[in-house]
Amino acid sequence: MAETTRHLTVRIKRFDPETDSAPHWEEYQVEAEPWDRVLDVIQKVKWTIDDGLALRRSCAHGVCGSDAMRINGRNQLACKVLVKNLPDNTIRVEPILGLPVIKDLVVDMKPFFDHYKSVMPFLVNDEPPPTTERLQSIAARARFDDTTKCILCACCTTACPPFWGDRKYVGPAAIVNAHRFIFDSRDRAAAERLEILNDAEGVWRCRTVFNCTEVCPREIKVTQAISEVKRALLTGDVGEIDASAETAAAAS
């Protein structure tokens, strides 16, 4: 079944702010090849059926993170889902949940990026740099390797049940990016970031639902990163590299 052209029924949640007060579902019939991605299918809808359909996409290769949407009730990058892997011939496509919908599949990412900015996602180090580079051991680099992979697609934050209810929760993506610098041996602002995340709307709003880990298109172990931040807050200990991470890095 997978290797032939498929006749897909694409159900898209449409919202036009100029005419609609609430979103509604529209259905489109599209022919798709097994090697097509869901992004191609949606673009086929836009290019051949209804050019009013709004969506974001940029690189279309799973790197830029702009085409995050809810496909069959699950946050995914449309450019990383192949038609041949779809379980049946009907696809439901919705905007990601919890952020205001501007039009169709385009959501207002401002709250998301505000949370991202709030954790100071940049290297802070006022010490005079050495004549070469700020060197780091392999183990010290491996300590935060997983969280460097984030592409800020917002899949995790908008899959997070606490975030659906509470927009003020910083969300997993911001915590992942804080983790990336908190555990960086070259950074000097870990204490400040931990202070920001120690807020009631910070890391403690996490309920270990694991939806973030489940959806991350970069396969970042988000909940693991969040729990590492929680433990750093409890113990006040960020500098030390635990032996298990070191052996894991050595093994891989």
Partner 1 sequence: MRVSGLVLVFLALGHLCITHILNNVEVINYAFVAERWANPRTGVLWRLWDLTMINLAVLHGFNGLRQILYEWIVRPGARKLVGTLIWSACIGLIGIGSYAILNFRKDEDYLRRFREANPPAVTEPSLVDTTIPAPPALATIPSLVP
Partner 2 sequence: MSTTVRAPKAYRPGLFTRLADGLRSSYGIGQWSWLIHRVTGLGILLFLVVHIIDTFFVVAYPGLYDHTVSLYGGRVPWILDAQGNPVYFAPLRWAFRLSELALIACVLFHSLNGVRVALVDLTPRGALFQKQMFGWVLGLFIVIMLIVCYFVLVPLFHPPVFWNFPTEAVGPPPSAP
CB nearer to partner 1: give 180 or 205.
Answer: 205
User: Please, are residues 16 and 104 in contact by the beta-carbon 8 Å criterion?
Assistant: yes
The option from partner 2, partner 1, none interacting with 128 (CB < 5 to 8 A, set by class) reads none
User: If you ran DSSP here, which 8-state letter would residue 218 be given?
Assistant: T
Q: Does 205 bind partner 1 (CB under 8 A)?
A: yes
Judge whether 218 and 150 are in contact, CB under 8 Å. yes
Show the binding pattern over residues 145-184: x = contacts partner 1 (CB under 8 A), - = does not.
Answer: ----------------xx--xxxx----------------
Name the pairing type of β-strands 106-107 and 6-14.
unpaired
The nearest distance, CB 147 to partner 1, in angstroms, is 24
Q: Which is nearer to partner 1, 104 or 228 (CB)?
A: 228
Of 205, 219, 212, 196, the closest CA to residue 115 belongs to 196
- Which residues sit at the interface with partner 2, rule CB under 8 A? 15, 17-18, 20-23, 70, 72-74, 94, 97-103, 108, 159, 161, 164-165, 207-211, 213-215, 221, 223-224, 226-228, 230-231, 234, 242, 244
- Nearer Cβ to partner 2, position 43 or 171? 171
The residue (of 148 and 227) whose beta carbon lies closer to partner 2 is 227
Cα dist. 122→28, 119, 140, 167, 179 in Å? 44, 9, 17, 23, 11
CA distances from 162 to 118, 167, 168, 206 (A): 18, 8, 10, 7
Q: Which residues bind partner 1 (CB under 8 A)?
A: 161-162, 165-168, 200, 205
